[in-house]
Structure 1
Amino acid sequence: MREAALNPPPHRHGRLVIRLLLVAAAFFAFGFALVPLYDTLCRAVGFNGKTLKDTIQAKDVPPSAVNYARSLGVQFTSTLMPGLPWEIRPLEPSIEIHPGELRTTRFLVRNLSDQTIVGQAVPSVSPTVAARHFRKLDCFCFKQQTLAPGESREMALTFVIDGDIGEEVSELTLAYAFFPAPNPN
């Protein structure tokens, strides 16, 4: 009797193995789903400096929405990830802007290699509370950028900062991280 309790029938092992494999597969799938879910959540609430690709156009920004009584400092920075032999810098490292004011600035990008390379910019706004108020109307970050060997290009960013941004925000930073495109189009 004692031996039967210590060694359950072989068919019970098979069921247990199948159940454990199903649980492992479910956890594996959940792990893959977390990345896009987290990214979507960050974009929706402006957490971690993420902003949505906005659908508003310059014509949708009424001039009366500009708050000339207040100004904000905006700094622009960029970082190149390993494997991307480019040089990038904002042509205006910092600007003053009134909430609601439509503004365009440019970044200079140059391919330092002897190969055509495709890169992708990923924006981040800090402080994170300001991210939901930063609206990009036109941005080079919306699509992958292809640069030929030695090519230089000015890339534009047109944006507006909502007039209802909190008084606690007086300065913000827009940072771009440039990555080699994993799947060049």
Structure 2
Amino acid sequence: MAEAPHTQRKLHRTALACAGIAVGMVGLAYASVPLYDLFCKVTGFDGTPITRVSNDSDVLDRTISVRFDANVAPGLKWRFSPEKPEITVKLGETTTVYYKVTNTGDQPATGIATYNVQPDLAGTYFSKLECFCFTEQTLQPGESLESAVVFYVDPRLAQDSDVKDLSSITLSYTYFPSKAGKPVAEATSSTQQTVQ
């Protein structure tokens, strides 16, 4: 009879351990998106440009072409384009480029821009000092807005064997309809995760 309480305690501990593991896995699932986003922003992984406060780099004579891509997701009646489709910059040189967005619809619309850099490995070396990305914008019908991107390409790119021969980088922005400060697709998935 003494074995029954001992067995019950073992089963109780096992059940608690399994419940703890399940709760931990659910917590990690919810934390994975913000943690991955933070990891990408800090390391430049997956083409995510690094945000910096200032540029204290030396300017090299080596140049690289930077192409600017502008897209608008379905559901947002906006026209979006860079001031110039491509420029050539020196590594380490701080540069400002402007984008223009216009609401071509007949209703006020709110959008938010996301971005990435291609090729992915160049994201580590593309440093933004100022950007309009992840800032919700509401435009009235026919209204236009000009926004700046201030950036530099880190001169350390010339020392990285994986990208040192790179001749061009593409900075790509996409405006999405926005709800509650997030692109609609993200806002929808966050709501679904909360409901589940």
Q: Same fold (TM over 0.5)?
A: yes
- Structure 2 runs not aligned, ≥5 long: 1-10, 159-163, 183-196
Instruction: Tell me, in whole angstroms, the C-alpha distance in 2 between the residues paired with 1:53 and 1:118.
Output: 24
Aligned-residue CA RMSD (Å) = 2.7
CA shift at 1:15, angstroms? 9.4
Equivalent pair of 1:118/1:184 in contact (CA under 8 Å):
no
Structure of larger gyration radius: 1
Instruction: Tell me, in whole angstroms, the C-alpha distance in 2 between the residues paired with 1:82 and 1:51.
Output: 25
Match of residue 169, structure 1, among 166, 170, 177:
166
Residue in 1 that maps onto 2:31: 33
Match of residue 83, structure 1, among 75, 78, 95:
75
Report the secondary structure of 1:67's partner residue.
coil
Instruction: Tell me, in whole angstroms, the C-alpha distance in 2 between the residues paired with 1:43 and 1:51.
Output: 7
Residue in 2 that maps onto 1:139: 131
Report the secondary structure of 2:46's partner residue.
helix
CA shift at 1:53, angstroms? 2.6
Report the secondary structure of 2:91's partner residue.
coil
CA shift at 1:116, angstroms? 2.0
Within 5 A, what are the aligned runs for 1:103-142? 103-141=95-133
Report the secondary structure of 1:27's partner residue.
helix
Residue in 1 that maps onto 2:7: none
Cα deviations by residue, 1:80-137 (Å, 9 ceiling, x for unpaired)? 2222221101121111111111211111101122222221111101112211211111
Instruction: Tell me, in whole angstroms, the C-alpha distance in 2 between the residues paired with 1:115 and 1:61.
Output: 44
Letter in 2 for 1:54: R
Residue in 1 that maps onto 2:42: 44
Aligned residues: 171
Q: Percent identity?
A: 35
Equivalent pair of 1:133/1:161 in contact (CA under 8 Å):
yes
Q: Does 1:181 align with 2:173?
A: no
Instruction: Tell me, in whole angstroms, the C-alpha distance in 2 between the residues paired with 1:22 and 1:85.
Output: 48
Q: TM-score w.r.t. structure 1 length?
A: 0.78
Cα deviations by residue, 1:21-50 (Å, 9 ceiling, x for unpaired)? 665444333211111111111222211111
CA shift at 1:74, angstroms? 0.7
Residue in 1 that maps onto 2:193: none
Match of residue 100, structure 1, among 85, 92, 95:
92
Instruction: Tell me, in whole angstroms, the C-alpha distance in 2 between the residues paired with 1:172 and 1:152.
Output: 27
- Structure 1 runs not aligned, ≥5 long: 1-12
Q: TM-score w.r.t. structure 2 length?
A: 0.74
Equivalent pair of 2:43/2:50 in contact (CA under 8 Å):
no
Instruction: Tell me, in whole angstroms, the C-alpha distance in 2 between the residues paired with 1:44 and 1:184.
Output: 22
